[in-house]
Each structure stands twice: as C-alpha cells, then as structure tokens.
Amino acid sequence: MDNIRLIQTGDGSSSLLNIALNETYHSTHGAIQESNHVFIKNGLHFFIEKNQPASVSVFEVGFGTGLNALLTLLFSAENNIQVDYTSIEAFPIDSKIASQLNYSSLLPANQTGDYFKLLHEIGWGKKIKVTNSFSLQKIRTTIQDFNFQGNQFDVIFFDAFAPAKQPEMWELTILEKVIRGLKQNGIFITYCAQGQLKRNLKSLGLSVESLPGPPGKREMVRGGKKIDSN
C-alpha cells in the first residue's frame, strides 16, 4: 500500500494518512482519544448504560487500523460484557504497517496479551472468539456489497472517511441500508456532524443528537432507532 503513511497524532498514538485521498484514518489531535470519545463512550457505553443488555452486537463500517475493535475488546473485558463484533473493510492495511501502530504500548490493559496483533492476524470471513468476552468477524467487502440479515446489530460504528473525501459512503441509499441492519433501540454513532447527514438520518426515522466532539472537533452525531421505525 504505497499510498499509506504512518503518522503520529496529538495524544501520542499512531494513525495513518491515505495519500491518495489526503485523509487521515483518525483525528490528528489524537487517535485513541477520538475513538474512545466517539465510539466507546458515546456509542457502546451509552447503549449499555441505557439498555443494560447481557450482550451487545456491534457492526463497524471500516476496520481500518483496528483501533475501534481493540478498544471494544478491552472495554468488554473491563466491564464484563459480551460483545459480538463484525467489521467490514474493502482495503485492509498490510501486516507491516499494522505492526508499526503503537496502540498496544499505550493501553495498559493490553499488557496481558498482544490482542492488537491477533486482531490483524485473524483471517477474513470467520467468526473467532478472541477472548471470553469478545468475538470478531472481519469481512473483506464494501458496504455496497455487504448483505445485512435483517435487524442484526445493537450499535453501528460508522467510521468511513469524511463525506468530502468519500461521498459515496454517506449517500442516503447507503445510510438507509445500514439503518435497516440496526435493531430497535439500536445506536448509530459517527464522528461526522455534517448537516446533510443529520437530515438523512432523521428522514430514515432516527432520533438524532448533536454531541460535543472529541478534542479538535466541535460536534459529532448519534442516532437512535425508535421502536416504531423500520
């Protein structure tokens, strides 16, 4: 992947720069703090606090560096919650680049084993139980080609590149497809706060909240699937 370069973000954690798109995989202000704030705190943790489930199914659009999966794995262990995690990725990073990402050294809870390396080594298409509380299935595909099997997921991490860089990922038809895969009372969470995104999510029957964003970003968006929405 000649168009990918390793960078360091403001909190000391690594990220990647897609040179072709001139777009980073995470906020330059801090990769770990962004993922924790957006997807873990305001997505996964919010859903669990609200619904008190015994287990949670998560769908991620964009496996990318694997950071969201790693943080979810650690969260599941720390909070004794079973997480079934499915992630799609059309253009996986290679093992050489993955090995240069420094998340394991920055996350104390990861000292019990190199889970991050394992997440990248797991083959595509098979559901693997990584820990007692975390299962992972990585699927090498695009969101356009992925088929949801009804209302499957409690929480959806929508972590595609920004609309200005990858507009096809944020089209209404794609969002409609993704929302159909969300269970009743499920949560759609993303770092994006674009006005058109909010309007599209509302048109699809979600209750939409504009939340304070991570450091360096004013807002982010969370959508909730109402009981009576399709």
Q: Residue 219: give its domain's CATH number.
A: 3.40.50.150
Total domain count for the chain?
1
**Has residue 230 been placed in a domain?**
no
Which helix (H) or strand (E) segment holds residue 18: the answer is strand 14-18
Handedness of CA 144, 194, 44, 109 (dihedral sign): positive
- pTM for this predicted structure: 0.95
- Closest by alpha carbon to 39, among 198, 184, 214, 179? 214
**Has residue 1 been placed in a domain?**
no
pLDDT in tens, 12-41: 999 999 999 999 999 999 999 999 999 999
pLDDT grade for 226, boundaries at 50, 70 and 90? confident
In angstroms, rounded to a whole number, what is the distance separating the alpha carbons of residues 217 and 220?
8
Q: Is 113 a residue whose pLDDT tops 90? A: no
CB burial string 130-145: b at 16+ within 10 A, e below: bbebbbbbbbeeebee
**Has residue 155 been placed in a domain?**
yes
**Has residue 13 been placed in a domain?**
no
**Has residue 109 been placed in a domain?**
yes
pLDDT of residue 228: 59
Amino acid at 94: D
Q: For residue 60, what are the domain limits? A: 31-225
**Has residue 170 been placed in a domain?**
yes
In angstroms, rounded to a whole number, what is the distance separating the alpha carbons of residues 11 and 128?
31
